Every structure is written in C-alpha cells, then in structure tokens.
Structure 1
Amino acid sequence: MSSKMIPVVKAEEAVEAEEEELVDPQVELREVCSQKADAQNLWAKYQECNDRVNSRSNTAETCEEELIDYIHVLDKCVNKDLFKRLK
C-alpha cells in the first residue's frame, strides 16, 4: 500500500520534461565582446604574430603573450554581465 504513495518517474518522462535546450551565456557574451574594438585590435595583433611565426621554419617566437592579452580582454568584458545571466 505504501508503494502507491510514492510517485515513480521513468527516465524517458524526465528527459521529455527537460526538452528546453540550455544555452551557455558565456558563449553568447564572448561573441558580443569579440566584436568590440579593443578585442578586435588584440585579435589582429595575435593573427599578425601567428602569421609571422608560421612563415618561419625555425623560430623560438611564440604568440602566447598576444593570445593571453586577447583572452584577458574578452574575459574582462564577459565577466561584467555573465553572473547577471546565471540562474
């Protein structure tokens, strides 16, 4: 008699209830932030460095600094609004 009082949910039913596709707000914000002028300038510097490094057969140069600068600006921009969008 106590088994009738406990509701049973099958896995298929639970999946159907969660059909709404989750969207990561960080991905959306990164896209918006990557279009801003300061991010565009740093991306161009990174691409220029990357092209320079790839054009050489033997070089110790890396574009790590340029990439870190670009990601830092992106993350700073994203962090302004990210936590407002999280549930």
Structure 2
Amino acid sequence: MADKVIPAVKAEEEEEELVDPQDELREQCAETPQCQTLWAKYQECNDRVNSRKNTTENCQEELIDYLHVLDKCVYKDLFKRLK
C-alpha cells in the first residue's frame, strides 16, 4: 500500500556537458597562419611598449586587426554549428 502513496522518482540522465562552438572555432582559427602572424605582431608591440617607461604608444591597432581576422574566421562557420 505504501507503494501507491509514495510516488517513484527516477533520476534524470546526466546531460552531456555543453561546449560553446565559438570557443572551439576560436581555438581552430587562432592556429591559422594569418592569425598567427597578427598575434606575433601584437606580441611584438606589447613587448616594445612594456619595455619603455614613458610612452604614449599602445597596441590597440594590432589587437583590433587580430580580433577582426579571428572573428571573421569564426563567424563564417559559427551559425552552421548552432542548434
């Protein structure tokens, strides 16, 4: 009789961990020669700026160039992977 009063609850199956396709694509695109070249230019600029005490130079242009190419690579395939 107790079986009829107390409902049985089944444990939910564990859902697989969701992976952001944008993160995967960024990792893949960062390995392309064009992105590698722009990342190296950004790092070179960053090293140069950090080695000086009084400078007005920043690496904003290099960073924007890198992110532009990275995002362009990512977004050409991103929406094909979304559910």
TM-score (norm 1): 0.80
Partner of 1:39: 35
* 2:56 matches 1:60: yes
Distance 1:24 1:18 in 2: 18
For each residue in 1:32-55, what CA deviation from the matched residue of structure 2 results, as whole angstroms up to 9, or x when unmatched? 000000000000000000000000
Aligned residues: 74
Where does structure 2 lack aligned partners over 5 or more consecutive residues? 1-8
Q: Percent identity, please.
A: 76
1:85 partnered with 2:81: yes
Separation of aligned partners in 2, 1:20 and 1:27: 17
Identify unmatched segments of 5+ residues in structure 1: 1-9
- TM-score of the aligned structures, taking structure 2 as reference length: 0.83
| The 10-residue stretch of structure 1 (17-26 or 66-75) with the greater mean CA deviation from structure 2 | 17-26
How far did residue 19 of structure 1 move?
2.3
Letter of the 1:61 partner, please give it.
E
- Which consecutive aligned stretches of 4+ in structure 1 deviate over 2 angstroms post-superposition? 16-19
